[in-house]
Amino acid sequence: MRYIAGRPARRWLNLSAPGDAFSHGFLPNMIETDQLTRCYGNLTAVDALSMRVEPGQVLGLLGPNGAGKSTAMRMIAGFLVPTSGTARVCGYDVLREPLQAKRALGYLPEGAPSYGELTVREFLQFIVRMRGFRPDVGFRRFDEVVHRLQLEEVLGLCIDTLSKGLRRRVGLAQAILHDPPVLMLDEPTDGLDPNQKHAVRQLIDVMARERTILISTHLLEEVHALCNRVVIIARGKLMADATPAELEQRSRYHGAVSFSAPGSGMSQEMLGRLPQVAAIEVDPLDGRITVFPKPGERILEPVEQLLRQQGLEVSEIQLERGRLDEVFRQITTDGNGQHHVMSGERA
């Protein structure tokens, strides 16, 4: 008989233990790094990275390939020893208190590595044993996780025979099996087709209601879909720390108005005379017009008014929030337009 518990329980983490930060009436940062650094000879893969992930946040660790994202995650997970600096999970130092830190963390490495020759059931049962569950609790958590990630139909299949999307689900299952308050996911949708990406993102969105999540990615649409805060790194250095909306405000497109209208040549000239307008650009591919405001100006209403006066049939008029891809390029490229990429380090 299957038993599905009604709600998650923090069985492994004593939140009121003497000396525990939780017992003093405040929550620690769920993930915290202080001057975290990793060098390989003369190459500095992660350079004095300091960041905080607070309870309830979904933070996107964003950067180009080779920026140091995976190296930073491996140090936070305790799989890689820092050259200098510290990392903490739920207040536990990953070097001085490794068992407590790892109990508080669910980690899905890039590519969702596992034991391909095992069936899904065998692999998850192995994780249950390695986590040291009592039999009754282990059986219950196994059933909860299999049900949540909809793995019932593939329990008897070898992991090597599964699609990438299903293997990623199995990887998520092992990451949440011990019901951690913090999840760390390294490129969770990399290499998946659009349908598989959508399914994995839906799972992450549901899990974010109960957990703090750190996601590394170089996919901007993933940031929009999942994250309420973004840290951008390049050459191992922290380059920006803001919400997606705050980053979009740095874009030259923030507050611009774009539209499509046939035969709008005369209107372009008149739009350029509006005192609030700084510039006008026409997309050479589809002819879409973008009108840029002067600093501090709002131009949607005067642009719409002028277009109505001209009697133009306008389609798809849009007030731009800003373009994250443009901001990302500004932050992660040098003055010559070259991406900050380190040899020998993928992410």
Per-residue three-class SS string for 279-296 = EEEECCCCCCEEEEECCC
The alpha carbon of residue 5 and the mean position of all alpha carbons in its chain are separated, in whole angstroms, by 29
pLDDT at 8: 35
Question: In the prediction, which pLDDT does 284 show?
Answer: 86
pLDDT tens digits, 159-188: 999 988 899 889 999 999 999 999 999 988
> Percentage of residues in the chain with pLDDT exceeding 70?
87
Joined tokens for residue 49 = 């990275």
| DSSP designation for 119 | B
The predicted-structure confidence for 13-42, as pLDDT tens digits, reads as follows: 443 333 344 444 456 689 999 999 999 999
User: Hunting for tokens 């004095």 — which residue is that?
Assistant: 48
Instruction: Render pLDDT for 242-264 as a digit per residue (tens, 0 to 9).
Output: 999 999 999 999 999 998 877 66
DSSP conformation letters of 288-347: -EEEEEPTT---HHHHHHHHHHHT---EEEEE----HHHHHHHHHB-TTS-B---TT---
Kindly report, residue by residue over 187-210, the tens digit of the pLDDT: 888 878 888 888 888 888 888 888
Q: So what's the pLDDT on residue 117? A: 94
pLDDT of residue 2: 41
Instruction: Burial-class residue 52 by CB neighbours within 10 Å (0-12, 13-18, 19+).
Output: middle
SS3 48: strand
Alpha-carbon span 191 to 176, nearest angstrom: 22
Higher local confidence (pLDDT), 9 or 97: 97
Please tell me whether residue 63 adopts helix, strand or coil conformation: coil
At 60-83, the pLDDT tens digits run 999 988 899 999 999 999 999 999
CATH code at 21-248: 3.40.50.300
Mean pLDDT in residue range 97-110: 93
10 Å CB burial of residue 173 (0-12, 13-18, 19+) is buried
Q: How far apart are the first and last CA of the chain?
A: 44
Nearest to 317 by CA among 305, 329, 326, 334: 305
**Residue boundaries of the structural domains of the chain:** 21-248, 257-320
Distance CA(131)–CA(135), nearest Å, equals 11
Starting at the edge strand found earlier in the chain, the sheet holding 237-242 runs: 105-108, 182-186, 212-217, 58-62, 229-234, 237-242
In sequence order, what DSSP letters do the residues of 26-47 get, joined into one string?
A: -PPPSEEEEEEEEEETTEEEEE
The average pLDDT across 209-213 equals: 90
As assigned by CATH, the class of the 257-320 domain is alpha beta
- The answer to whether the beta carbons of residues 229 and 56 sit under 8 Å apart is no
Residue 343 has pLDDT above 50, yes or no: no
The reported pLDDT for the residue numbered 263 is: 64
- CA angle 222/228/233 to nearest 5° reads 65
Q: Where are the beta strands (DSSP E) in the chain?
A: 31-40, 43-53, 58-62, 84-89, 92-93, 105-108, 182-186, 212-217, 229-234, 237-242, 257-260, 277-282, 289-293, 315-319
